[in-house]
Structure 1
Amino acid sequence: MDIPLPSRAALKAHAKRLRGALADAGTTITHAQALEAVARQWGARDWNTLSARAHDAPQHAYHPGQRVTGRYLGHRFAASVKAARLMPGGRHALTLRFDDAVDVVTSQHFSAWRRQVNCVVDRTGRTERKTSDGQPHVVIHAALAGA
């Protein structure tokens, strides 16, 4: 199975996350060293070789670690994308991990809190599945930069 090569920007973001994770573990490396490590992970001789093979435009609208905001069953949320998979027709299968649990029950007699949800969103960030009043289960309003 061939895994498509991410964009240059995604590869650089990977290097930045790698550098941060290593720093958290007590190992300091330069950004250039992180780029070289990412290149080796993708089977390239060095960063320049990998960079030449990578595309300039991102291939996916969503990626793991990305921060998003929106509404789930009518409730506002802020979340991290835990998993993302590109599907046919430009749709994305996502696993969203909410910063704060969302009560998915409208009853005053009990609650049911969800911390994570799986969904499939279209290019506009909306699910095809809808509630009984016709609202999409998930609407992603914004993908936050810098994550």
Structure 2
Amino acid sequence: MAHTASQSHVSQALPSLESLKDQAKRLRARLHAEGQEMSHSKSLELIAAQMGFRDWNTLHACVGNRPPFNPYLLGSRVRGFYLGQAFEAEVLGVQSLGGSPERYRLTLHFDQPVDVVTFESFSAFRQRVHCNVDGTGRTTEKTSNGRPQVELVW
């Protein structure tokens, strides 16, 4: 049974509009390769039906009106590498920076301070850091050896 606009799909993990449109393009290309022609609008309607929606406009409205997915939650626990050193931390702050791909400004509080100096003669420990990461948990800023400054692992 097809869903109506009044039914809630917000709790479902729906793909982004870009992903849905890409699915429709791939469907058209596949059918074209098999000798079947289909309009772009028809392929969008079929994707909507496949997702359980009455039509493309209903799916588009639902996906377009949902809050953006944020993989980082205030107070959640994360682990990864900071300047190449393993850490576990609590997320103390999250701010969406937007963009494509989506980026986030995080404030992390490490369980154990991390030594940010690689020299044996002295140390400098850091326990709280701010970083800008993408949806994969990596910073665009890199260390001198080419690794991201922060790498979160799932």
**Shared fold (TM-score, shorter chain, > 0.5):** yes
Q: What residue ranges of structure 1 are gaps of 5+ in the alignment?
A: 1-6, 9-54, 143-147
Q: Which has the higher contact order (CA 8 A, sep 6+)?
A: 1
Q: Distance in 2 between matches of 1:104 and 1:140?
A: 17
Higher Cα radius of gyration: 2
Q: What residue ranges of structure 2 are gaps of 5+ in the alignment?
A: 1-9, 12-64
Matches within 5 A, 1:20-99: 59-89=69-99, 90-99=102-111
Using structure 2 for the length normalisation, give the TM-score: 0.54
Displacement of 1:109: 0.3
The Cα offsets for residues 88-120 of structure 1, whole Å up to 9 and x where unpaired, read as 121110000000000010000000000010000
Q: Distance in 1 between matches of 2:134 and 2:68?
A: 17
Q: Residue in 1 aligned with 2:144?
A: 132
Is 1:118 aligned to 2:130, yes or no? Answer: yes
Q: Distance in 2 between matches of 1:91 and 1:102?
A: 24
The 3 A distance-change label for structure 1 pair 58 and 87 is closer
Displacement of 1:58: 7.2
Displacement of 1:87: 1.2
Cα root mean square deviation, aligned: 2.0
The 3 A distance-change label for structure 1 pair 86 and 57 is closer
Identical columns (%): 47
How many residue pairs get matched?
90
Displacement of 1:59: 3.1
